[in-house]
Amino acid sequence: MTEPVLKCTNCGSEHERRSLICPECGNPGITSLYKYLSFNQHSLSLIINKEVWFPKAIDVNDPFEFKFMLSSMELHGMAINEASLQDARKDAMQLGVFCLSEINDNILMWSHYASNHTGFCIEFERTKENDLKPESCVPVIYPADDSVPVIDNENLETNSTFAKIATTKSKLWSYEKEWRIISREIGGRTYPLPGGITSVIFGCRMDEHNRNTIRKIIKTDIKYYEAIEDDNQYKFKIKSLSST
């Protein structure tokens, strides 16, 4: 169960998906991540106050969050109490988690997270200076066999082990191509924007009044797009609104 890789479009080599550039040829990797949003006071607050909401892991929509198993129920010859493991998971589930996607055209995500296509999607830029850098924001792992992480007891308390537990999900969620920032504090609070906003994509059912509201709030010179239905396939095309 390893972190997802990315195949370089230039030289064909594979590298960690979180890398900003290909280590072989310097070609850009994934430089943008997206947040699907409903049009409401919370999403407007995001662009007005330049803050994002980190819900507690226990409050997101997957009941299997942070689930793991140990390779043995003994450590240094002492039995490990199952109840203490469950308590540790419950404590971890209080941490904040901010979820993004590397794609902006998924029909299901527009339906689930953007109020049946009446909302919008924000594009954040990844740089080595902001909180979307490889050290802070990582892609989710979707095991092919749908197994929960099995943790070596000796490594239970390491940062890499925690990251593995916090970013492994069922392959049923793989269509989301999710990335995560996990806070080190209790969730249910806001944090500054993790990166600069470079564009906004309007849902295919978003009305013009709400689109104009977002334009008036943002004011700065960013790009605007809209999701439109493809004529020949069950998919979206992301169309530039260059006249705005």
Q: What are phi and psi of 175, to 5 degrees?
A: -65, -20
**Domain range list for the chain:** 1-30, 31-240
Rounded CA Rg of the chain: 20
pLDDT tens digit string along 31-65?
A: 999 999 999 999 999 999 999 999 999 999 999 99
162, 165, 167, 168 alpha-carbon torsion, rounded to 10° = 160
pLDDT confidence of 70, banded at 50, 70, 90? Answer: confident
Name residue 150's beta-bridge partners.
Answer: 69
Mean pLDDT of the chain: 93
Q: What are phi and psi of 110, to 5 degrees?
A: -60, -35
Task: Over range 222-228, report the average pLDDT.
Answer: 97
**Over 70: is that where the pLDDT of 243 sits?**
no
Q: What are phi and psi of 232, to 5 degrees?
A: -115, -15
Helix axes 208-218, 41-49, angle to 10 degrees: 20
Pick 221 or 157 by higher pLDDT.
221
d(CA 21, CA 116) in angstroms, rounded, equals 35
